[in-house]
Structure 1
Amino acid sequence: VQNVSCRRLSAGGAMNIFDRRMKRQQRSWAASLQDSSKYDYLREEVGSRVADRVYDIARTFPLALDVGCGKSHIAEHLSKDVVQRLLLTDITHSALKQRRSCEMPTHCVLADEEFLPFRENTFDLVVSSMSLHWINDLPGALRQIQQVLKPDGVFIGAMVGGETLYELRCSLQLAETEREGGFSPHVSPYTAVTDLGNLLGQAGFSMLTVDIDEIQVHYPGIFEVMNDLQGMGESNCAWNRRALLHRDTMLAAAAVYKEMYGNEDGSVPATFEILYMIGWKPHESQAKPAKRGSATASFGDLSKISQPTPSDQA
């Protein structure tokens, strides 16, 4: 349950759920940690799966854009035979400084995912991994991505879905309700998979593909889950977040987490629902659905298909 009164409207009229300045600070702090690479395991895994989807498309992309690249966890899995040149954008300078090495020439641009500073019809491919779930105006961001693509260009992205960290969410809510008589949101709201196809269609994409993956990571306990989220730069940045939890509430949440979701070895799971999306910018060369009324058979005739013909009975 979210406190709707804490939501603010941006200048464009879109819901302003997230404090983007806070998210920039979180990401910058996480990237500046001396041991920041130990928290990259989720981004590395999702980045490799996005790269796999790029390889599934049998073509070479002369110019590509990575929106919210972080340390470029997609680029490190791509070859220059598939992507010849790549532009990397992120909201934090610290992440761009620590980008992973890759085969193709790259150029870095410090830019917000909500305000892409590129001309229309520029890129053959746009990719994004693990950043779009922090966007306030997701429909607007998808429209911008569609605009900067060339006709017949493709967007391949991955973002966190609505069932992510349900174990943590439920444990905190139950503990806070029991100890404090009510609860506040401690895990940010995420996009549901049922909405994603509509958002892509409204942004002007065609030939859509949306699928879900679940990645489950096991931790010693709730405190390690929250510590790793902080190290990833994935802490809650909603405007209506509650900054602190009472110690008794946190201890109760840890106990609830173990009781409801704990494994036999004493560890607890944290589930990350990852939504993958593929959308194409329309072009006249793309296959189009047949015109209405052009079918040569009627649905009413389908029942006759299984009936034996006279020649079968002979």
Structure 2
Amino acid sequence: NTEHLVRSRSSQSGSGSGVNVFDRQMKRRQRDWASSLSNATQFEYVREEVGARVADRVYDVARTFPLALDLGCGRSFIAEHLTTDVVEQLYLTDVSSNCLSRLRDGGIPSRCVLADEEFLPFKDDTFDLVLSGMSLHWVWRVLKPDGAFIAALPGGDSLFELRCSLHLLTVDTDELQVHYPGIMELLTDLQAMGESNCAWNRRSLLHRDTILAAAAVYKEMYGNPDGSVPATFDILYMIGWKPHGSQAKPAKRGSANVSFRDLSKISPKPSETS
């Protein structure tokens, strides 16, 4: 069934005024490599937790969504927690074919689409709900009017301990704190998650001396008494709705029938007791 698809979009499509910050091919290779690891599930603890929390927020919305899209689905971290009570049909997309090959069976009729989340191959106004866990994408075009966008993405304070020790620039909130034996284990896990840097101006590698110096600073500033070091993932959860005429709107300025000065006349005074 291709009724919701359009012809493949070139990676150069979209507004010509956009700034190309990230190397999407590098990100695809990182995701492919990470998902091909024999022990890949060992490094999915953050996505597992975030996926469950995003799904919780879907259940908080008092409606059933006929057609939903899960962007950057990975191993269906969100979808595995959903049922047909909230989503009737689901499209799962990821930039990595390896991720899509590892999808877990869910209870919702689904279809997989290999697609770059920034260049979605879907018709305008297609989906009643768009979900995104740990990814930030432009989704306005594919959302129906009055459609919902529920997402989780790394916040500005994510991994602040690591950025502080390396002097890197800092580019409803929830914190996940994970404890590691040391900075090398943290960096190894980030790589195995497919979350290595993919900015065009990224450095090819960190020199050993830099890592050792960062490890010393990290441990001195944030180390635990047992020798481990914490890493904080600052997760921002959000939900937004595409505008539609049926949605509630604020009253026009000056349209109120009651003045704040008259509130004391409206609300009866509490009875006095002797």
Deviations 1:11-59 (A, max 9, x none): 7222222111111110110011111010110001001000000000121
Counterpart Cα distance in 1 of 2:105 and 2:59: 19
Counterpart Cα distance in 1 of 2:198 and 2:98: 19
CA RMSD of superposed structures (Å):
2.3
Deviations 1:201-235 (A, max 9, x none): xxxxxxxxxx2111111111100110000000001
Q: Which residue of 2 aligns with 1:42?
A: 46
Q: Are 1:82 and 2:43 matched, yes or no? A: no
How far 1:246 sits from its partner (Å)? 2.2
Unpaired segments ≥5 residues, structure 1: 1-9, 133-137, 174-184, 191-210
Matched ranges for 1:123-134 at <5 A: 123-132=127-136
Percent identity among equivalent residues?
A: 67
Q: Which residue of 1 aligns with 2:7?
A: none
Q: Are 1:258 and 2:252 matched, yes or no? A: no
Matched ranges for 1:231-270 at <5 A: 231-270=192-231
Q: Are 1:163 and 2:157 matched, yes or no? A: yes
Q: Are 1:26 and 2:30 matched, yes or no? A: yes
Counterpart Cα distance in 2 of 1:283 and 1:237: 36
Counterpart Cα distance in 2 of 1:77 and 1:16: 34
Matched ranges for 1:110-129 at <5 A: 110-129=114-133
Q: TM-score, normalized by length of structure 1?
A: 0.77
Q: Aligned partner of 1:296: which letter?
A: N
Counterpart Cα distance in 2 of 1:254 and 1:91: 33
Q: TM-score, normalized by length of structure 2?
A: 0.88
Q: Are 1:273 and 2:267 matched, yes or no? A: no
Q: Which residue of 2 aligns with 1:287?
A: 248
SS at match of 1:86: strand
Q: Are 1:172 and 2:166 matched, yes or no? A: yes
Q: Which has the higher helix share?
A: 1
Matched ranges for 1:68-107 at <5 A: 68-107=72-111
SS at match of 1:87: strand
Deviations 1:129-173 (A, max 9, x none): 1122xxxxx5xx1xxx22222222111011111111110011112
How far 1:299 sits from its partner (Å)? 4.6
Moved over 4 A (4+): 299-302
Unpaired segments ≥5 residues, structure 2: 1-13
Q: Aligned partner of 1:41: which letter?
A: Y
How far 1:298 sits from its partner (Å)? 3.4
How far 1:237 sits from its partner (Å)? 1.0
SS at match of 2:176: strand
Counterpart Cα distance in 2 of 1:252 and 1:240: 22
Counterpart Cα distance in 2 of 1:280 and 1:230: 34
How far 1:245 sits from its partner (Å)? 2.2
Q: Aligned partner of 1:243: which letter?
A: S
Counterpart Cα distance in 2 of 1:53 and 1:254: 37
How far 1:300 sits from its partner (Å)? 5.5
